[in-house]
Amino acid sequence: MTVQANLKAHTKYLWFDTKKRREYIRITDDVAKFLAETGMKEGFILVSAMHITAGIYVNDWEGGLIQDIDTWLEKLAPENPNYLHHKTGEDNGDAHLKRILINHQVTVPVTDGKLDLGPWEQIFYAEFDGQRRKRVILKALGI
């Protein structure tokens, strides 16, 4: 059986002005609102941080876990004035490394017009070098 469908793409940007250097912001509702705006029933939404010192991840929305993630990242990539990157005049070498650990994007499935996340899964924007304006792209592809 062949199904004829018109694949469509939709794009939206989310902007962030964080108050601290490191913040973890739940954006699940923003992504769900975007999905509703598209009218898409089946497909995928790419959620991607457009800055090299920020990331996107999916996990549980629980304060202790978010602190554990932050502690883990700080242990693996501590704020440290000895990064070679700092010889360029920057002071955010740790933020670049934290972004690699978290990753810069996720792809979320859409099924029957809803984000198809697990029972506890939420989408987060992770900021590692904040206190300035940054953005995330939402790119929906589907029918």
Measured from the Cβ of residue 81, the count of other Cβ atoms closer than 10 Å reads: 8
pLDDT in tens, 1-32: 666 679 999 999 999 999 999 999 999 999 99
Domain edges within the chain: 19-82+90-142
What stretches of the chain show up as alpha helix (H) in DSSP?
28-38, 63-76, 93-102
The amino acid present at 83, given as its one-letter code, is Y
Q: Which tokens in the block code for residue 127?
A: 């900021």
The predicted model scores a pTM of: 0.94
Query: SS3 for 57?
Result: strand
- What CATH fold (topology level) applies to the domain 19-82+90-142? Jelly Rolls (2.60.120)
**Residue 120: band (very low, low, confident or very high) from pLDDT cuts 50, 70, 90:** very high
Give residue 5's pLDDT.
Answer: 74
Q: Specify the pLDDT at position 82.
A: 92
